[in-house]
Amino acid sequence: MAADVATADHDAVLAANRAFYRAFVERDLAAMATLWSEDGAVACIHPGWDVLVGRAAVLASWRDIFAQPTAIACRDARVLAHGDCACVICHETIGDGRGGGMLVATNLFVRQDGAWRLIHHQAGGVAPGAPAPPAAPATRLH
Amino acid sequence: MAADVATADHDAVLAANRAFYRAFVERDLAAMATLWSEDGAVACIHPGWDVLVGRAAVLASWRDIFAQPTAIACRDARVLAHGDCACVICHETIGDGRGGGMLVATNLFVRQDGAWRLIHHQAGGVAPGAPAPPAAPATRLH
């Protein structure tokens, strides 16, 4: 049934998003390299950085970031899906999450040969005092 | 030919992106409302804000932003395309562009009934001293 297919896609996208943060936490460059698309252009915008374009530049940035341990956790993941594209929007908590350590991220996945691969990531800080996000009782938006 | 179709899509996506910034500069809420998808979920992350989810919240944020004039210009637009999704990554220059007034943005469009509609926007600041972006001799990446 279409609903089952949509549920399976949604779950697969969230699994890919979890794999992204697992690679981040474990500083696993090989896993990170597998997650990023090898087919076509990719881009990445780390917080405060300018845009990085191309697989080589993006993976080099992760190698540099992995030189230092980062305590990062993903929560509140939501999926905006449209055909073979899925955009995951989530919070990233850095450190213990206090003292302004919350980011909000966009992770854009595309389906290639049955697997969801990243083509773009942007993360940026949420200013202290920013309005609270709406409740997210379910991660499914579409 | 496939190449012509791709070129037409690419041009149409960039036109939609220009229309987004034109609506922004002209504080044209009706035009902005037309640009955002009415079919399915949408989200928006303004610089420093938390994520806004849903068409009503997103359009309300633009109404609030439009209460004040903003000198904003888009440049260096690049397209990451994948089927009926197209992600435009660009710089946003605020004011005269000096004094840390540069942002980098992700605008995610999907094709619906032949038109490219926004389903997500994220913009964030580029820290002074961030590495310069790679040269962008062409806006086509994929």
Chain A neighbors of B10, CB-CB under 8 A: none
- In this complex, which of A53, A124, A132 lies closest to B122 when CB atoms are compared? A124
Give how far A90 is from chain B: nearest CA, Å.
9
Could you tell me what percent of chain A has a pLDDT over 70? 85
Residues 53-82 of B with CB under 8 A from A: 53-54, 57, 78, 80, 82
Q: What integer pLDDT is reported at residue B121 of this predicted model?
A: 98
Could you tell me what percent of chain B has a pLDDT over 90? 73
> Is residue B126 pLDDT above 90, yes or no?
yes
Q: Do A49 and B127 touch (CB under 8 A)?
A: yes
Q: Rounded distance, CA A19 to CA A23, Å?
A: 6
- What chain B residue is nearest to A103 in terms of C-alpha separation? B50
Tokens representing A61 are 């940035």
Mean pLDDT, range A40-49, rounded to an integer: 94
Q: Do A119 and B80 touch (CB under 8 A)?
A: yes
Q: Rounded distance, CA A52 to CA A58, Å?
A: 6
Of residues B104 and A137, the one with the higher pLDDT is B104
> Is residue A99 pLDDT above 60, yes or no?
no
Task: Report the predicted TM-score, pTM, of the whole model to 2 decimal places.
Answer: 0.89
Closest CA to B31 of B95, B89, B118, B96: B118
- ipTM of this complex prediction, to 2 decimal places: 0.88
Query: By the CB < 8 Å criterion, does A124 face chain B?
Result: yes
Q: Is there a contact between A43 and B108 (Cβ–Cβ < 8 Å)?
A: no
Q: What integer pLDDT is reported at residue A41 of this predicted model?
A: 92
Closest CA to A105 of A76, A71, A81: A76
Q: Do B132 and A50 touch (CB under 8 A)?
A: yes
Give how far A21 is from chain B: nearest CA, Å.
19
